[in-house]
Amino acid sequence: MKISVVILAAGKGKRMQSNIPKVLHKVGGRTLLEHVVSTAKSDINADQVFVVYGHAGERVCKALSHLDVQWVQQQKQLGTAHAVSQPLDKIPDSHLVIVLYGDVPLISQQTIQTLITATPSNGLGLLVANVEDPTGLGRIVRNENNLFKGIAEEKDATEQQKKIQEIFSGILAIPARLLKKYLKQVDNKNAQQEYYLTDVPSIALAGGATVTTVTAFYPDEVLGINDKQQLAKIERLYQLRCANNLMLAGAIVKDPARLDVRGKADVGVDTVIDINVLLEGNVTVGQDCYIGPNVVLRDCVIGDHVTIKENTVIDQAVIADQVTIGPFARLRPGAKLAANTRIGNFVEVKNSQIGEGSKINHLAYVGDSQVGKDVNIGAGVITCNYDGVNKNQTIMEDNAFIGSNSSLVAPVTIAANATVGAGTTVTENVPAGTLTLSRVKQTNIDTWQRPVKKEEA
């Protein structure tokens, strides 16, 4: 059976107290709506995905124009049943319709697949959950045989019904032909004078259809976001899920509560992730690595047996095997480190290739450079790669030695086995195997005396 997913994202979200449309707020570095679309497109392989938008719709559509969805506007917000009806003329009767919500980002593939399987061809399937605090949610009302009887919305529920902890998540699956039929029978005779999607199950039941319920695998996955406190709660739940997935795949996470994944992370077996680590964008880390405290990895590839010490930032860089980096190092976009290299504390590397076995141990800046094998770059060395208009390249060939506090004014080449003495400013190419110096001759004045502080009158 083909599947059409309808994602409701038209709400204003007044309680968010924000100028940002609710579905554009982020969890794990992605907007709420992107999470739900990913579930529909990637996890359950829906044939069609419709996003029903309303409040600040132009901003939502523009910000997420890259999504492979069909945008449908709900010009007047007349309730959830009205919202679901907006794209129905584009959905064939033979499709199964799944209704999801743009502010419920944690819904899992496992739960949705179970709902699809359980939905009868002559009725509908409802996703329910048992929660500690059902306030504000529609309660599942059952008969004396524990079979589904109806849904009581919070504002219309009796005091006895408000004590029920089994809630309707709002997520349901139903054949399109039946959904079209039942939506025509929904009215707005309720406290809010809105057309509730939650009326559909009772209408279906009264018409002789079968209504099944499926309990979510994790109660938290059906939680919606209505304010920033809930946004923060969902963020932590999402991060815990990410940490658990990494550990199940073989990584060692020192404290799951102090790891943030904002994107996609692939971490190898027995790699240790210490506290307060941020993995952002697309991050791949090999096996048997160590990622120290307060490290930020963004859109980078890390090889095997790599040590990244505390307070290091690696952004759009590629790191080979057996590399040591940090502490307090920064690798900027375009940095590529070959095997067995070492980048020490307070070293910055940008758009440069560092050859196998080379060392930049401390307090240096290497930008727009090609560094060969077994090169030693001393403390305080900088490549002067920017002339105010253009970026120029520095080349350091194999086994070159750059003494401390030297400035390499690009474009310039330090040939193989050459040595640049400490404190040298290099403005011309250095021949292979030579020693280059540009120091002022040292002068010692033995008659000089330090000034003495004058006494105040």
Which positions ≥6 away from 445 have C-beta within 8 Å? none
* Same domain for 253 and 213: no
* Same domain for 206 and 269: no
pLDDT of residue 457: 67
* Same domain for 361 and 286: yes
| pLDDT(58) > 90 | no
DSSP annotation of 433 reads: T
> Tokens representing 216?
């979510």
Q: Is residue 268 part of a domain?
A: yes
> Does 66 participate in catalysis according to the annotation?
no
* Same domain for 171 and 52: yes
CA dist 43 and 225 (Å) reads 22
How much of the chain exceeds pLDDT 70, in percent? 100
Q: Which of 82, 95, 305, 362 is catalytic?
A: 362
* Same domain for 139 and 281: no
* Same domain for 251 and 175: no
* Same domain for 255 and 115: no
Which positions ≥6 away from 255 have C-beta within 8 Å? 275
| pLDDT(14) > 90 | no
pLDDT of residue 156: 82
* Same domain for 179 and 123: yes
* Same domain for 76 and 175: yes
Q: Is residue 233 part of a domain?
A: no
Q: Read off the CATH number of the domain in which 334 is found.
A: 2.160.10.10
Backbone angles phi, psi at 30, to 5 degrees: -120, 150
SS (H, E, C) 166-229: EEEEEEEEEEHHHHHHHHCCCCCCCCCCCCCHHHHHHHHHHCCCEEEEEECCCHHHHCCCCCHH
First-last CA distance in the chain: 99
Q: Read off the CATH number of the domain in which 205 is found.
A: 3.90.550.10
Q: How many domains does the chain have?
A: 2
* Same domain for 274 and 196: no
DSSP annotation of 427 reads: -
| pLDDT(13) > 90 | no
Q: Is residue 175 part of a domain?
A: yes
Q: Is residue 229 part of a domain?
A: no
Which positions ≥6 away from 190 have C-beta within 8 Å? 153, 155, 156, 196
Nearest to 327 by CA among 314, 339, 337, 316: 314
Residues 242-261: pLDDT tens digits? 999 999 999 999 999 999 99
Residues 24-57: pLDDT tens digits? 999 999 999 999 999 999 889 999 999 999 877 8
Q: Is residue 452 part of a domain?
A: no
End residue of a domain, out of 192, 222, 252? 222
Residues 259-313: pLDDT tens digits? 999 999 999 999 999 999 999 999 999 999 999 999 999 999 999 999 999 999 9
Cβ-contact 115, 97 below 8 angstroms: no
* pTM of the predicted model as reported, rounded to 2 decimal places: 0.90
* Same domain for 195 and 258: no
Q: What's the chain's Rg over C-alpha atoms?
A: 31
How much of the chain exceeds pLDDT 90, in percent? 82
* Same domain for 265 and 204: no
DSSP annotation of 333 reads: T
Domain of residue 252, residue span: 243-436
Residues 420-441: pLDDT tens digits? 999 999 999 999 999 999 988 8
Q: Is residue 444 part of a domain?
A: no
Q: Is residue 427 part of a domain?
A: yes
Residues 64-86: pLDDT tens digits? 999 999 999 998 888 999 999 99
Query: Which CA distances in Å does 57 have to 21, 32, 70, 73, 195?
Result: 8, 15, 13, 8, 21
- Categorize the per-residue pLDDT at 137 as very low, low, confident or very high, splitting at 50, 70 and 90: confident
Q: Is residue 448 part of a domain?
A: no
